[in-house]
Structure 1
Amino acid sequence: MNGDVLYPVELLQRVLDDEKDNVLAVEAKQCGKEEVKVIEGAEERIVAIGKELIQENSLGEFIGVAKLSEAFNIQFTDSLSQLIEAGGKADYFEAAIHPLLAKIQLHYVDVSDLPCIEIDFLEDLDKAAELATSDLFKSQR
């Protein structure tokens, strides 16, 4: 989980309850240039991930919540090491996921119906504070 994202517990539960071993929470929407975009294939499978993807081709944004199997994490760790050794120390971790998509199935679960916010700026923090005090989060306080 990315630590700068506020979301209801229902979102996490939806990801954990998915029958697939490797699942990313995705908000289906038109994305901006700076968002981590995903492109979908058949059967809710992710075939590409990254900020550099063409916005018009993307399904939506990976919001930073995932369920990943032990097998995926072993290969992900190796992929991260290779990325760093190749000089990618400043790359986002999604750059290490992309090469794995041909080897391991990675799926998405649509969480577009649930509110979430990535907190990058002061304005985001204000919106997150408002969301956190809403009725949706009342049972989580």
Structure 2
Amino acid sequence: MQPDHCVCRALILAAGRGRRMGAEAPPKALLSFGGKSLLARHLTILDACGVHQVAITIGYRAPDLRNEVARHERGGSVVLIENPSFRDGSIVSLWHGRDVLRSGMPILLMDADVLYDRRVAMRLLASSHKNVFLLDRAIEPGEEPVKLCIDNGRIVDFHKRPQIDHQWHGESVGFFRFSPSIAAELADRVEGYVNAGQTHLEYEEPIRDMVLAHGGRDFGFEDISDLPWIEIDFPEDVQRAETAVLPNLIA
């Protein structure tokens, strides 16, 4: 049974254009599976898990995203944060959400372009770790997946091209739960990068900085290899989502 209310806020990053999906593609958060957009699925799952405060960064085709949120009836509040610089790296979207990170509440940070089972969010919320990454051991080879690197049960690196020796790694799902203090630290690190003009970076860079600065001690992970999910990066991911993931979802 899920709680009626979870004392945390979700910050969903949905501003990007998704250039690899093609010039005329809609925002990836609006891709529909089983008659329901990824964004609507996020909101439904968060509602079911008791997360009733949600902020969403929007940018590319922002009116379409606003309309989609307006169509979705839910019990909690949704705040839309516009990122006019959505062509820059995703670190800029996180910078626009810095007040959410500094809200004094635990934060769920979530990529919008993921089709996933409700149990993925439940496992993130139920974790005994205060600061949690999710990983899948079934990782595809190559540089594209962001890798969460583990050594002796501890997170030691977080990067597409890891630089630190480790025993094994899995693919990051792009969902995190951070304590209020770590979320605020993340906001500070993001602000430092943006103030230095490094707006081309992805949001994983300041998260990696925190992991290295803390020696991985304050971070844990949950393995969701047994649950269906997929990140939509390329047109072929849509087909895989429809045939291999959607039929297996509890959402």
Provide the TM-score with structure 1 as the length reference.
Answer: 0.85
Q: Does 1:23 align with 2:136?
A: no
One-letter identity of the residue aligned with 1:26: L
**In 2, Cα distance between equivalents of 1:24 and 1:51:** 15
Question: What letter is aligned with 1:10?
Answer: R
Hey, what's the Cα distance between the residues in 1 that align with 2:196 and 2:148? 24
CA distance in 1 between counterparts of 2:193 and 2:156 reads: 19
Who is 1:119 aligned against? 232
Tell me the matched-pair count.
136
CA RMSD between the two structures: 2.1
Runs (4 or more) in structure 1 with deviation over 3 Å come to none
1:12-43: CA deviations, max 9, x gaps? 1111101111101101244421111121134x
Superposition map of 1:67-86 within 5 A: 67-86=177-196
Report % sequence identity. 30
Report the secondary structure of 2:199's partner residue. coil
Q: Does 1:106 align with 2:216?
A: no
- Residue in structure 2 matching 1:96, options 189, 206, 231: 206
* Alignment-mate amino acid for residue 235 of structure 2: L
* SS, match of residue 111 in structure 2: coil
**Deviation sequence 1:117-139 (CA, Å, 0-9, x none):** 1111111112212222x1x32x5
Structure 1: runs of 5+ lacking an equivalent: none
Partner residue of 2:88?
A: none
Cα gap change, 1:50 to 1:71, in 2 (>3 Å)? same
Amino acid paired to 1:53:
P
- Look up the SS of the partner of 1:59 in the other structure: strand
Question: Which residue is equivalent to 1:34?
Answer: 144
Residue 116 of structure 2 aligns with an amino acid whose one-letter code is Y
Which consecutive unaligned segments of at least 5 residues does structure 2 have? 1-109
What TM-score comes out, normalization by structure 2 length?
A: 0.50
- Compare the two structures and name the one with the higher helix fraction: 1
CA contact (8 A) 1:4 1:119 kept: yes
Structure 2 partner of 1:8: 117
1:83-110 deviation line (CA, Å, top 9, x unaligned): 2233321111110012212236111111
